[in-house]
Structure 1
Amino acid sequence: METVRQLKKIIEKNGPDRSDYGMLDSLLHNLTDQDFVAIQQSDLLKNADLLKDDKSIMGHIFTKPYGYAGDFHIIDRIYTRNLNNNYVKWDQYSLENSAAQAVRNRKSYFQKLMHKKVKNWTSDKSIELLNVASGPARDLKELYDQLYNKSIINTTCVEMDAKAIVYAQNLNKAHLNHINFIQKNIFRYNDTTKYDVIWSAGLFDYFNDKCFVKVLNKMKTWLTHQGEIIIGNFNQDHNPSRKYMELFGDWFLVHRTKEEMIQLAEKAGFDRKNITVKSEAENVNLFLHIKQG
């Protein structure tokens, strides 16, 4: 099979040169389901050094040292463009593809959103922010670094991975008087606090539709009257990196269309007139915005 031959050639030279990017993108994008399964079941990827070593970007994603794909460590490597010298070509390709750029864009998306909230804030009270599945929390670190009045935002982070919390606390050690980390599965988490902003960028595309609606229902009870929920989800209609993520990283997400996200919000009891869907510049990450009223 020509596809296997070309992939084998790239693997044998320890990754694509920049001149190979277009060819590799096209090769992966055009994989048939049959070819995808054939490559999965072959020895081609099983014998690839980069997928045996969690020091490479895709090797980390594939081997899942923390038990799940998209963990705090790999997300922060994507944020900081941290590549390994033994896998420079593969890591460069991994960090420059559309999905990686979209992950970096969602950090900027969050920060711009919060700066706008701060600019328009008129209350004497702090903005109450709930960050669900906060991961490395580099988005928060950079946000607080930029704020003149750091007390204007009070943040609660709910994160299931204890190691992610330790990492995030260390990264945010200068701001811990404004950030509270809680280790909890969101399905078991209950709260009496009312939040002005509820943000979750990298969680809901691991949920099936039933779980998606269930968590949105919970969030609805935590929202202030003028509050807003923002949920990130990978775009069913546009993710050029999808087959690379799935084939090389064994990283499968539930991709959704804009309309599917709107319909799920409606099932959770929100009025369609209060629901919008936006995207970051790559149009790979969609953002469901829901206002209470």
Structure 2
Amino acid sequence: MASGGLSLFREHDRLSRFKSLEDRPPLPIGTQAPVSIPDTLYPVVAEDVRRALTDIANLASPGNYTALADTLIDLLALLKETFSDRTWHGAVLPAARAHTVAQLVHECPFTSHSFTKPRGYPGDAGLIDFVYRHPAARPAQEAATAAGRTVMAFTVDVTACEAVRRRRSVLAAAIDAAAARREQPAILSVACGHLREAELSLALTAGRVGRLLAVDQDATSLAAVEGYRGSVSPAIETRQATVRQILAHRTDLGRFDLVYAAGLYDYLDARVAARLTRVLFDHLHPGGRLLIPNFLWGVREEAYMEVFMDWYLLYRTRSEIEDFAREIDPAAIRSTLYTEDAAGTIGYLEIERI
């Protein structure tokens, strides 16, 4: 097993020198099965990683790391696909983080923000503002190096980030649809972040929403949301609460015509996700709808996110997302609808209460 694994790794070392995705040959037959390397060979694997990353670092041009970022994402994805989780976390990931290429990509304010976690947890609302290309993220972008900005221009344009921007539009459309179904609806956003979808909602700005309660654990995020009371709608309210408090029924949230959670479920294990789905469903008025997005398997940038952003998501299949509803009494459900975005990156589960 050891010799076969190292043979595969030399193939990856070679692939790292391709200057573009178009030059990359197809994966060799048989490399789909994860390869686990004995601990005693981790130093050899780490050295191979360092050589491959040195080749990639040589793609950096003064003031422009676009080719570096593109090839780096591709190589890491290939390595993560090939090696077992144990080898990935024990040998590949530490070697990559220790390489000087990490310093180059951390010139990107988006990548650096995620890795340093200024609010103490991954995927905070400030990070998502980079994905949205929101003006709030502009000062950090302008303070970055010119080369760092080229990394960010590339990384925020990948499929996963485009899916997050699309998700924002989907949530805004859900708010507008709730206002079309019911006069002055009550809406709950769980783990609302900066609630940037409020800027896209026509119903909110037109005064057709009776109440939008934005709930988050982060006081900094809620302070940003408070600003929308004057600029978007006075119907917006904020409440600081954790998922644990919601699950324990220690919050008096009320009843709603629409409940949604933007990126929350990407961080919840299956048992907590099912429990939360039942609790949130119980907060619906008759005819109300619960909307839950979750990233699907197959995100090309997953390995880059783990190595250089320290950003881990829980990717799921359609059946796993649909299984969120397993604790709800079927007799209380009028309908369920599963959809995906055009790229098959995020799946959406909508559950309507009778």
- Structure 1 residue 235 corresponds to structure 2 residue 296: yes
* Cα contact 1:51–1:63 (8 A) shared by 2: no
Partner residue of 1:40 out of 90, 93, 103:
93
Query: C-alpha displacement at 1:139, in angstroms?
Result: 0.8
Q: Secondary structure at the match of 1:115?
A: helix
2:324 is matched with 264
C-alpha distance after superposition, 1:119-144 (max 9, x if no partner): 3x3x4x41111000110111112325
C-alpha distance after superposition, 1:184-216 (max 9, x if no partner): 113213335210000101101111111111111
2:200 is matched with 142
- Aligned mates of 1:178, 1:259 — CA distance in 2: 36
C-alpha distance after superposition, 1:199-241 (max 9, x if no partner): 10110111111111111121121001100000111102x3222
Query: C-alpha displacement at 1:250, in angstroms?
Result: 1.4
1:65 is matched with 118
2:216 is matched with 159
Q: TM-score, normalised by structure 2?
A: 0.72
**Alpha carbons of 1:9 and 1:270: their partners in 2 closer, same or farther (altered >3 Å)?**
farther
**4+ residue segments displaced more than 6 Å:** none
AA aligned opposite 2:303: K
* Cα contact 2:207–2:233 (8 A) shared by 1: no
- Structure 1 residue 7 corresponds to structure 2 residue 7: no
The higher radius of gyration belongs to 2
2:271 is matched with 210
Q: Secondary structure at the match of 2:351?
A: strand
Query: C-alpha displacement at 1:170, in angstroms?
Result: 2.9
Range moving further from structure 2, 261-270 or 208-217? 261-270
AA aligned opposite 1:166: A
Query: C-alpha displacement at 1:117, in angstroms?
Result: 3.0
- Structure 1 residue 126 corresponds to structure 2 residue 187: no
Query: C-alpha displacement at 1:176, in angstroms?
Result: 5.1
AA aligned opposite 1:60: H
2:77 is matched with 29
Matches within 5 A, 1:61-100: 61-80=114-133, 82=138, 83-84=141-142, 85-86=144-145, 87-100=148-161
- Aligned mates of 1:143, 1:194 — CA distance in 2: 21
AA aligned opposite 2:88: F
Query: C-alpha displacement at 1:244, in angstroms?
Result: 1.7
Query: C-alpha displacement at 1:158, in angstroms?
Result: 0.7
Q: How much identity, in percent, do the aligned residues show?
A: 24
Range moving further from structure 2, 179-188 or 44-53? 44-53
Q: Secondary structure at the match of 1:197?
A: strand
* Cα contact 1:8–1:44 (8 A) shared by 2: no
- Aligned mates of 1:192, 1:182 — CA distance in 2: 9
Q: TM-score, normalised by structure 1?
A: 0.86
Q: How many residues align?
A: 287
Query: C-alpha displacement at 1:19, in angstroms?
Result: 5.1
- Aligned mates of 1:151, 1:276 — CA distance in 2: 25
Gaps of 5+ in 1: none
- Aligned mates of 1:126, 1:109 — CA distance in 2: 20
Gaps of 5+ in 2: 1-9, 17-48
**CA RMSD of the aligned region, Å?**
2.7
- Aligned mates of 1:205, 1:287 — CA distance in 2: 12
Partner residue of 2:175 out of 114, 137, 142:
114
Q: Report the structure, 1 or 2, having the larger helix content.
A: 2
Partner residue of 1:49 out of 82, 89, 103:
103
**Alpha carbons of 1:16 and 1:214: their partners in 2 closer, same or farther (altered >3 Å)?**
farther
Query: C-alpha displacement at 1:274, in angstroms?
Result: 2.1
Q: Secondary structure at the match of 1:187?
A: helix
2:44 is matched with none
